[in-house]
A and B are shown apart, each in its own frame.
Chain A
Amino acid sequence: MEDRKYSDGLDDLSGRYLTFYIDEVIYSLPLGHIIEIINMQHITHIPGVPHYVKGIVNLRGKVVPVSDVRLKFGQPERPHDDKTCIIVTTINDMQVGLIVDSVAEVVTLDKNQMAAPPKAGKRMGESYLDSIATLNDKVILNIDCTKFFQADMAELFVHEN
């Protein structure tokens, strides 16, 4: 019984997602990749990086890079307000902060609530999607963290050449 309880505790994270807004669109990230949510703070700009990489922040003595999800999705920049915040994520032991318009809630999504994204999409944002889910008549776009950053790397590689 004891063991069972522990494994449930771990499984808990796997079906759960943090949803956030970019404009009126709801996106979500798997909870397992998320470390914390912090308020907007002063970002030190780094020269020579793509425009959506806003710079670095000091997260309790740790230097963490910050990307703007809006810009990454090819949407226009928007002034930050008091709802704008940074979701600190971890992928491959690398911490990256993501600037989003606002954070909504943590939801539990079932596999059968999700649909695969269309294969023939042309806009770049779609290539980061893992699946599309519907919950209470709302559409949630689930972002695949690995794709989100891998595409980033691949894109850079092309730039370098």
Chain B
Amino acid sequence: MSAIDPGMEALLETFVYESNTMLEQLDEILLDSERAQNISHENIDSIFRIMHTVKGSAAMMGFSAISSLGHAVEDVFFIVRETPDKLTKVFSDLFDLVFQSSDFLKREVERVTSPNYEEGDPSALVERLHHLAAVMKGQSPLEETASSAAAKSAAAGSDMANADELHKIRVFFEDDSQMENMRAFMLLTQLANCCDILESVPAHPESDSSLCADIIKNGFLIMCRPLDSLSDVIKIIENSLNIKSYEIIHDEEASFQAAESADASEGKGETSEAKTSAAAAGASGKTAAAGSKQSLISVNQAKLDMLMDLVGEIVTAESMVASNPDLKGLKLDNFTKSVRELRKLTDELQDVVMSIRMVPLTGTFQKMNRIVRDMTKKLDKKVELVTFGGETEVDKTINDTIADPFMHMIRNAIDHAIESPEERLALGKPEAGTITLNARNAGGEILIDVADDGRGLDTEKILIKARNNGLLTKPESEYTDKEIFQMIMLPGFSTNAEVTEYSGRGVGMDVVRKNIEKVGGSISIHSVKKEGTTFTIKIPLTLAIVDGMNISVGDTVFTLPITSIKQSFNITDPSQVLHNTDGTEMILLRGECYPIIRLHDHFNISTERTQVMEGIMIQVESGNSIACLFADELLGEYQVVVKPFPTFFNKYNLKGHGLSGCSILGDGSISLILDVGNLMNLS
């Protein structure tokens, strides 16, 4: 409907980003406040400011649904701020409503970028917000709207009597706001609705961009006769973005100036002002805080991805130069020195780029709070979310990918695992269930536990369900508990008989597993009946570059992540290799026995070196298991850029075969990156 003006597209991006950040902040404040059962003054002001900014920018972009709802929320918080004691009366209603409004706004903001965006209808919410405001004021809805408007216009109230006269208002725009002439024009257009006579100096600001300088210097003079009252006009001016100050020029009186601070450094003044009189309220509450000026910039993620790719290419190019076959056998002291220097720099560059992409998990954890809140309300359960290790940092891509799986798991936990309060009390558990999110670093990986203290997984039910769905591949008695737990992550498995709003579509855990595997992670389940379930998610710290040992098998090159290698050795005596009763090979090392995985057998590669004496053994470790890989030879240590397999191979489950990706080597050939964990599971 409201097709976005092409010129606005850049603005739109900023709008979406800003609004999302603000709305997230809003949720956070609301959750904190709801938990504390009280809203502090600062929080009220923050909410006010957030809604104001969202509303203001939405109005500027022409999204009336967002701005009108934002306005209604703002109105409610205006009353809250004026009369905090009324709050207790409507506390939970207020929060529900504001949460719903925030959801609506988020949805809208998400949708505005789509090409055929049609505004949603916020009128129901607006209506309820108005009603709430009325209840708080102890008045009927109609009266309230009028009086709220009156309260807001208190500053300009004295002018109301002169409504028939032509008012002169001089508006100054913020420094550096740019396109002042267009902003002036937009202001005029907005004002046109509530004034029957409207003139300005300069008369047609939109016609000539050179008028900018004039507007900056002398301000933008508006002469108008309002239809209703001057306060409406002032409200519009106050609500417009990028207006530094405005003054109403009275014919005889000295001009009075209501300076609007848009700078957060003046925020202090704003709060104190807020507490004072209604006269100040009109102007100060409207403050659009542009956010504190930290030395942070937001960057388009695509650019970061590109930077990452480039660094990857540089690392590859560097190995290409350093281990160039042309240099073989040459003694190049100075060259080697320079290469070492270059290597150091590229390492550093890589670290910096990586760190740019690292974001703490806090944000994702915060979002879960919201889900817990909504679901517990809906399902009438009591659940507390406890998080640890939110400061743990992961790659942005990983962070984005795991948000959905978390949501699924938490929904599942609340819906299926946590019992109702009565049931819990009967079982001798605390009334409120606990869901714990615990993130921690472990070597090159991050472990995240999602644990609940609910009823635990019911192995019998799972088995029955699996049987009904034809998911069993061997006799039921042969399944271990662990294998049974894994079944819940098979496609088409859902233990809940009924499909609820939140979970039980039978895709949940399957999708969770897929998403986590997509970023190279894995998921394991531990569950004790009646005590709870713990999902442990293991994800790599970063996706892109690994230190690897290249090994050859036939003419195929594999890369083994250095972190998984314990040692490599040659076998001098074939009798070191023992044969298990089932024919598999093992080797005895320092009193412990490890299985041997022959890579050429496993991957069906033809090679001449099939005798254990001819090749090399590499002892590898993943998790708690250790095995020895048999390959032809070690080619050397390289840094490789991990590339995922083309989507073409998605169907073949290469990860299941023990391959996590591929990488382009210095000479342009491709190596396959081994996934030691999966490799061992297979053998």
Contacts and interface: CB of A to CB of B under 8 A. Distances in A.
A48 B654 contact: yes
Contact of B643 (A63, A153, A157): A63
Interface footprint category on B:
20 to 34
Contact of B664 (A58, A96, A157, A160): A58
A63 B604 contact: no
Contacts of A10: none
A56 B654 CA distance: 13
B652 A48 contact: yes
B313 to A, nearest CB: 7
A64 interface: yes
Interface in A21-76: 42, 44-49, 56-58, 61, 63-65
Interface string B657-668: 101001010001
B672 interface: yes
In terms of DSSP, what is the predominant structure of the interface of chain B? mixed
A131 interface: no
A1 interface: no
A94 B603 CA distance: 26
Given A63-B664, A65-B646, A65-B648, A48 B657 contact: yes
Contacts of B664: 58, 61, 63
Given A58-B664, A61-B664, A156-B651, 16 more contacts: A44-B662, A44-B670, A44-B672, A45-B605, A46-B645, A47-B602, A48-B653, A49-B649, A56-B662, A58-B669, A58-B670, A63-B670, A65-B649, A94-B646, A95-B646, A96-B648
Please list the 7 inter-chain residue pairs (A to B) with the smallest Cβ-Cβ separation, ordered nearest first.
A47-B603, A44-B670, A65-B648, A48-B657, A156-B651, A65-B646, A49-B652
B556 interface: yes
Interface of A: 42, 44-49, 56-58, 61, 63-65, 94-96, 153, 156-157, 160
A57 B671 CA distance: 10
B647 interface: yes
A46 B672 contact: yes
A64 B652 CA distance: 15
A157 B556 CA distance: 28
22 contacts: A44-B556, A44-B557, A44-B662, A44-B669, A46-B645, A46-B649, A46-B654, A46-B672, A47-B603, A48-B603, A49-B649, A49-B652, A57-B670, A58-B664, A58-B668, A58-B670, A61-B313, A65-B649, A94-B646, A94-B648, A153-B651, A160-B651
Nearest to A64: B646
Contacts of A45: 556, 605
A46 B657 CA distance: 10
A160 B671 CA distance: 26
Contacts of B654: 46, 48
A43 to B, nearest CB: 9
Of B313, B556, B602, B652, most A-chain CB atoms within 10 Å: B652
A58 B665 CA distance: 10
A42 B664 CA distance: 13
A31 B662 CA distance: 30
Contacts of B670: 44, 56-58, 63
B605 to A, nearest CB: 7
B668 to A, nearest CB: 5
B559 to A, nearest CB: 12
Contacts of A58: 664, 668-670
A8 B659 CA distance: 46
B660 to A, nearest CB: 13
A128 B234 CA distance: 70
Nearest to A41: B668
A21 B664 CA distance: 31
Nearest to B604: A47
